[in-house]
Amino acid sequence: MFRPKLPSMPQPTGRGTPPAVVVEPTTITPGTPASSPTPDAPAPVASRPTVQLTPGSALALAAGGGAVVLVVGAVLVSMLLAVAITGVSVALVAVVLRLLVNDMHKGR
């Protein structure tokens, strides 16, 4: 009852054989150079798109980052202020209740 149910024919989970690579034959016509690189030639480098920052876009990026920092800072300060106000309010209520309880015990 408490034994796990295992499949009767489990699939292999280890490293399997890699899939077969299909090589398509190419035709070589006389007079065209072979496309195999020579040992002296540098390997081709994959081109990556580069980001060009103009002064205007850099200024916009800096202004956007500054705005994000200001907004996050304002939110955090307002949350801290809300916690502080709540703490002061709870402390005042505790003092008032303590005074009322003390007055009731003294019989005033």
Domain limits, the chain: 77-107
Q: Can you give the pTM of this predicted structure?
A: 0.44
Contact 41, 47 (CB under 8 A): no
pLDDT tens, position by position, 46-100: 677 887 888 899 999 999 999 999 999 999 999 999 999 999 999 999 999 999 9
CA distances in angstroms from 25 to 10, 92, 102, listed in the order given: 39, 88, 100
Amino acid letter, residue 12: P
Model pLDDT, residue 33: 59
